[in-house]
Amino acid sequence: MAAFMEEQLDLPLRAVLARMQERILTQTTYFGIPALKNPLDHWIYQELIHATRPDVIIEIGNAYGGSALALAHLCDLMGHGRVIGLDLSHQAVPEAVRRHPRITFITGDACTSFATVRNLIPDSARVLLIEDSAHTYAGTLQVLRTFSPLLQPGDYFIVEDSICHHGLEVGPQPGPYEAIETFLMENRNFESDRNREAFLITWNPKGYLKRIT
């Protein structure tokens, strides 16, 4: 039988995170499509999208396409913006997602595909970037270094799953958290906007990177 919140008010935060992770990985959907996202972070995404009104949202790592569809629906509500999805394969993405007029999927390694992506984005475009691919230290850092020039001051680069070994004992070690720290040390154009972690629970600690110059 499921245990409910009011019965577990003294449950350690680490145990709460583990329970949320299980729910995210096994049951969380968006319009019936698996979406491997912490919904508290997705709420922050919609706040960012409303505040910055990106012309293009680039999501690196699409899995089943649920989050790409959610981002496209936010663009629908604003009447502005489009989504570029990058992944090694899109075989698991349903046709209903592929058909959305605001979504373009590019299959292949993200960094190898950078020139293709760059050609789809006007020089003056405002961009929101979401990195959610392999979560290795080297891979995350390469994505940060490769794609960060697309952003203008005020734009955000979100690095997902920096919770690996910084809240959950899952994933590569070192991983995204350490890649963020390295990137920020070598690139003073960005800062970690920790005000975006306003719900306390986030799968992206230190991962809301704002371009400041």
**For range 26-43, the mean pLDDT:** 97
pLDDT digits (tens, 9 = 90+) for 90-104: 999 999 999 999 999
Burial 62-80 (b: 16+ CB within 10 A, else e): bbbbbbbbbbbbbbeeeee
Cβ atoms of 160 and 176 within 8 Å: the answer is yes
- Percent of the chain surpassing pLDDT 90: 99
State whether residue 128 is helix, strand or coil: strand
> What are the domain boundaries of the chain?
38-211
CB hemisphere CA count around 180 (13 angstroms): 25
What mean pLDDT is reported for the chain? 97
65-to-36, 69, 84, 85, 132 alpha-carbon distances in Å = 9, 6, 11, 9, 12
pLDDT digits (tens, 9 = 90+) for 57-66: 999 999 999 9
pTM of full prediction above 0.85: yes
Angle (CA) 143 83 180, round 5°: 25
Cα dihedral 35, 39, 44, 46 sign:
positive
Tell me the torsion sign for CA atoms 12, 16, 19, 21: negative
Q: Domain spanning 38-211 has what CATH number?
A: 3.40.50.150
Q: What is the pLDDT of residue 1?
A: 53
Tens digits of residue pLDDT in 106-126: 999 999 999 999 999 999 999
